[in-house]
């Protein structure tokens, strides 16, 4: 896959009969992603905090369920509800996120950005794994950021809080999780693809949640006006990852332009920190201990069940 493919959503095939779960679909990248998938006939399950807003946007044509990724109790309730009503899922798009927020703790006492951007999606993926393994051409698409290249360990961020450092750390966690999931699924012989995507610099309202006026001005004001691409184009990498046959497990799909800031979806390399085996194992162990979701057992059980039914 190269940048000269000039891929756009016009190449998305008919998605009738396929079920997609999209987190954070009431604005920004998630909203654009949901609209494009719905236009191709996909059955959408929108995981959102504001159900009434989602209904105003999408109407009755999609399935809307409440999910607060910062609250692990909410994640478990959401997953249990899906198990009651669905026998399989085809694609999970871990899109929702928050950026450079004031120091806040989740209901379980974890730093909010790490809890929302990583821990919630880690737990959600694990709890839906059996439904995904029962799907057709199943995929998990985890949205990271070009800022994962600027992050430093350890996890979570050090006690002295820096809003952007905590954000960068959470995005490195997304990248590490997606790649480590790819490694583990591949070792298990699974057909489930774990693919990473990032939108480059995109004009979303995510940046307006920044903790200080100067960050909001730099990121959401000047940055959006001078550097950012339209939100519709920012969604292209994750749409490619979710639908294109050329998107393989372990890939990072990102804009092709300078600095990965804008452009058509193309294959990019993850940072060295995101592919280090010891980093992946460290984060995985921490995430399982923190969330109580044990992927190793789930992968083994789900794959054994799938083999028995073949």
Residues serving a catalytic function are 167
Q: Which helix (H) or strand (E) holds 265?
A: strand 265-268
Token code pair at residue 72: 């692990």
Give just the sign of the alpha carbon dihedral 162, 168, 174, 180.
Answer: negative
CB atoms within 10 A of CB 183: 17
Token code pair at residue 181: 């999931």
β-pair partners for 63: 45
Contacts of 249 (CB under 8 A, 6+ apart): 182, 185, 186, 192, 193, 194, 195
Q: How far is the C-alpha of 5 from the C-alpha of 245, rounded, in Å?
A: 13
């Amino acid at each position: 896959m190269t940048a000269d493919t000039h891929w756009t959503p016009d190449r998305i095939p008919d998605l009738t009969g396929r079920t997609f779960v999209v987190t954070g679909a009431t604005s920004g990248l998630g909203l654009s992603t949901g609209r494009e998938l719905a236009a191709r006939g996909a059955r959408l399950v929108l995981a959102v905090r504001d159900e009434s807003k989602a209904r105003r946007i999408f109407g009755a044509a999609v399935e809307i369920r409440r999910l607060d990724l910062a609250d692990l109790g909410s994640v478990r309730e959401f997953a249990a509800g899906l198990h009651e009503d669905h026998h399989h899922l085809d694609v999970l798009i871990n899109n929702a996120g928050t950026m450079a927020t004031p120091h806040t703790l989740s209901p379980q006492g974890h730093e909010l950005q790490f809890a929302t951007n990583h821990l919630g999606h880690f737990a959600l993926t694990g709890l839906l794994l059996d439904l995904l393994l029962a799907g057709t051409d199943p995929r998990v698409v985890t949205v990271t950021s070009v800022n994962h290249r600027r992050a430093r360990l350890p996890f979570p961020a050090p006690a002295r809080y820096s809003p952007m450092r905590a954000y960068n750390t959470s995005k490195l966690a997304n990248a590490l999780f997606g790649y480590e999931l790819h490694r583990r699924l591949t070792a298990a012989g699974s057909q489930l693809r774990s693919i990473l995507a990032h939108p480059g610099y995109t004009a979303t309202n995510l940046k307006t949640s920044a903790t200080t006026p100067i960050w909001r001005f730099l990121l959401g004001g000047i940055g959006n006006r001078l550097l950012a691409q339209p939100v519709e184009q920012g969604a292209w990498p994750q749409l490619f990852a979710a639908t294109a046959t050329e998107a393989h497990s372990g890939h990072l799909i990102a804009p092709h332009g300078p600095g990965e800031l804008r452009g058509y979806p193309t294959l990019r390399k993850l940072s060295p920190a995101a592919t280090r085996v010891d980093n992946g194992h460290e984060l995985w162990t921490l995430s399982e201990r923190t969330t109580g979701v044990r992927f190793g057992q789930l992968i083994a059980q789900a794959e054994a069940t799938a083999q028995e039914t073949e």
